[in-house]
Amino acid sequence: MPINISFSPRLYHWFVRPKWFTKKYIHDHVQSHFTFDGHTVLDFGSGTGANCSMFHPLYYVGIDPDAKRIDYAKRLYTHHAFQVLESKRFPFDNDSFDYILIIAVLHHVSSDEISSYMKEFQRILKPNGTIIVMEPCLCKKKPICNRFMKWYDNGEYIRNEEEYIRLFIDHNYDCNVINRFRKCFLYHELFFSVKPKSL
């Protein structure tokens, strides 16, 4: 049976996403493969804003359905923009973003719900825009790690690599796996990029 602990935004930010941990396992990986100078970024599922420090405030927007976490992010990172996601339609114009960042979000969302966002991702991405994804990933050869993640993580939809990729391929995207790595010994992470297929 998985652990079901609900942290306050403050405890989540400092306990689950401490700065050293976020830099080592997220920021260093992302920044070693992508340059964001002058490029607009939507942080989908931004939570308490732990990833906003990678981006210039003028080009960044964080969005999340949890109003308490967004409120905390606004207080913590006063120069960055954050919004509450209130519907399946994003409050942005077509072709608004060069990048969409999706970090440790999809394993909390059902496949049906993700499907409802796919057209919106395409709508708000600029031509040749990119989606950057990093998620905990089940691995056939690591049953102990898989059991640990399912027990420890609140995400109900931790998938294997093929299942994550299929979420996008089935909605007319091309995917490129960038890296597979271990986080804190017992978590396996999948890091990949996604682009809408040319029509």
Cα gap 23→10, rounded to integer Å: 18
Read off the pLDDT of residues 102-153 as tens digits, 9 standing for 90 and up.
999 999 999 999 998 999 999 999 999 999 999 999 888 777 777 877 776 7
In percent, the amount of the chain with pLDDT more than 90 equals 71
What does pLDDT average to over the chain? 89
Strand pairing category for 97-103 and 41-44:
parallel
Return the CATH fold of 9-196: Rossmann fold (3.40.50)
pLDDT of residue 16: 59
Above 90 in pLDDT, residue 199? no
Task: Say which amino acid occupies 23.
Answer: K
Region 76-100: what's the mean pLDDT? 96
pLDDT of residue 83: 97
Read off the pLDDT of residues 158-185 as tens digits, 9 standing for 90 and up.
999 999 999 999 999 999 999 998 877 6
Q: What is the pTM of this model?
A: 0.88
In percent, the amount of the chain with pLDDT more than 70 equals 89
pLDDT of residue 80: 98
Read off the pLDDT of residues 50-82 as tens digits, 9 standing for 90 and up.
999 999 999 999 999 999 999 999 999 999 999
Above 50 in pLDDT, residue 2? no
Q: According to DSSP H, which parts of the chain are helical?
A: 9-11, 19-22, 28-31, 67-76, 111-124, 143-152, 161-169
Residue whose C-alpha is closest to residue 159's, from 135, 141, 180, 176:
135
pLDDT of residue 5: 42
SS (H, E, C) 72-127: HHHHHCCCCEEEECCCCCCCCCCCCEEEEEEECCHHHCCHHHHHHHHHHHHHHEEE
What would you report as the CA-atom Rg of the chain, rounded to the nearest whole angstrom? 16
pLDDT of residue 139: 85
What residues have CB less than 8 Å from 124, skipping those under 6 apart? 42, 90, 92, 93, 94, 95, 96, 97, 100
Stretch among 10-19, 31-40, 184-193 having the lowest mean pLDDT: 10-19
Cα gap 161→20, rounded to integer Å: 26
Task: Say which amino acid occupies 22.
Answer: T
DSSP state of 193: E
In this structure, what token pair is assigned to residue 144? 């102990």
pLDDT of residue 12: 52
Output the CA torsion sign for 102, 104, 109, 112.
positive
